[in-house]
Amino acid sequence: MVQIPSDDDPNGTIATATSSRRSLLTVAAGALGVGLAASVLGPALVFLGHPLEHDATAGDGEFIPAGPIGQLGGSVPVKVDLFADRVDAWNRVVQVKVGSAWVLQQGGELVALSTVCPHLGCGVDFDAGANKFYCACHKSYFALDGAVESGPSPRALDRLDVEKGEKLVSIRYVRFKVGIEAKEPIA
């Protein structure tokens, strides 16, 4: 502490004597201030961090009716949009489009491929001329069974579970993590 001369104390000795008390008080005040800030910032951060532990959206993982059996299952892929009820934070939206899939007959079975590119999540299109799937964003090409033919995609197109009912085909819509080799659902 700097010695502060005053009228009562021309040499500043009193100030020196009290300076340790003064700085102690200042430090105590500072500590209280930090505690005050933490008492609000702590809960505020927990509040902001809520989505780390909780999902704000729900609606994945159910079998969704995709269309009548007769209209699906040709050798040329058909894009079907899947509609389901979805919760988005405070909203519950009834019958909103949650995703889509390419559906085709492959080796005697009905196959549904997610339209989400496993590379970085763009929409995968079908090139009827080349008879291939392709992603226009980064030029990944996929064979009809979903296997990567060229481009940066780390894995084949993601297959979705298909269920054949009496009249309807249903697809379980799931989103998968992009950019990695393994097919891992987004939790």
Partner 1 sequence: MSMRSFLDERIGLGSGWRAFTHRPWPGGPALRHAVFAALVFLFVQQAVLGIVLAAYYSPSASDAWASTAYLNDQVALGWFIRGLHDHGASVFVVLAVLHVAALAFAGAYRRPRELMWLAAIAVLGLALAEGFTGNPLPWDEKGFWAIQVELGIAEQTPGGGAIKRLIQGGSALGNLTVLRLFVLHVFVLPLALLGLLAFIARQRRRHGPAAAADARSHTYAPGQLMIDVLAMTVTSAIVATMTMSAHGTELFAPADPTSGFQARPEWYFLFLYKLRHYFEGSLEPIATVVIPGAAVTFLAAAPVIDALAGRIGRITVLAGLSTMLAGAGLLTAIAMADDRGDESYGKALEQANKESVRARNLAREGVDPRGGGAVYWNDPEYKVKMLYTEHCKNCHALDGTGGGEAPDLTDYASTEWLSALIRDPNDPRFFGKTKHDTMEAYGPDKLTEEQLADTVAFLESMMDTEGKMLDTDAIDRGKVLWNDELDCNNCHEIEPGKDNEGPNLYAHGTTSWVNRVIRDSGAKDLFGEHAQMPKFADKLSDAEISSLAAFVVAQRDR
What character string, x for contact with partner 1 (CB under 8 A) and - otherwise, covers 20-59? Answer: -xxx-xx-xx--xx-xx--xxx-xx-xxxxx--xx-----
CA atoms of 148 and 183, how far apart (whole Å): 14
Nearer to partner 1, 94 or 128 (CB): 94
Residue 95: Cβ within 10 Å count: 9
CA atoms of 5 and 11, how far apart (whole Å): 6
CA atoms of 35 and 74, how far apart (whole Å): 68
What character string, x for contact with partner 1 (CB under 8 A) and - otherwise, covers 54-83? Answer: x-----------------------------
Rule CB under 8 A: choose which of 17, 76, 87, 130 binds partner 1. 87
**No. of H helices and E strands in the chain?**
2, 12
Nearer to partner 1, 9 or 145 (CB): 9
Nearer to partner 1, 71 or 91 (CB): 91
Name the minimum Å distance from CB 65 to partner 1. Answer: 12
What character string, x for contact with partner 1 (CB under 8 A) and - otherwise, covers 128-167? Answer: ----------------------------------------
CA atoms of 45 and 51, how far apart (whole Å): 11
Q: Which of 106, 126, 91, 110 is nearest to 160 (CA)?
A: 110
Our finding on whether 93 is near partner 1 (CB under 8 A) is yes
At 99, the amino acid letter reads G
Name the minimum Å distance from CB 75 to partner 1. Answer: 31
Asked if 103 contacts 164 with a C-beta cutoff of 8 angstroms, the reply is no
Name the minimum Å distance from CB 29 to partner 1. Answer: 4
Which residues, listed in sequence order, are joined to residue 105 by a DSSP beta bridge?
A: 110
Asked if 17 contacts 4 with a C-beta cutoff of 8 angstroms, the reply is no
CA atoms of 185 and 171, how far apart (whole Å): 15
**How many residues contact partner 1, by CB under 8 A?**
33
Contact residues: partner 1, CB under 8 A = 6, 8, 21-23, 25-26, 28-29, 32-33, 35-36, 39-41, 43-44, 46-50, 53-54, 87-94
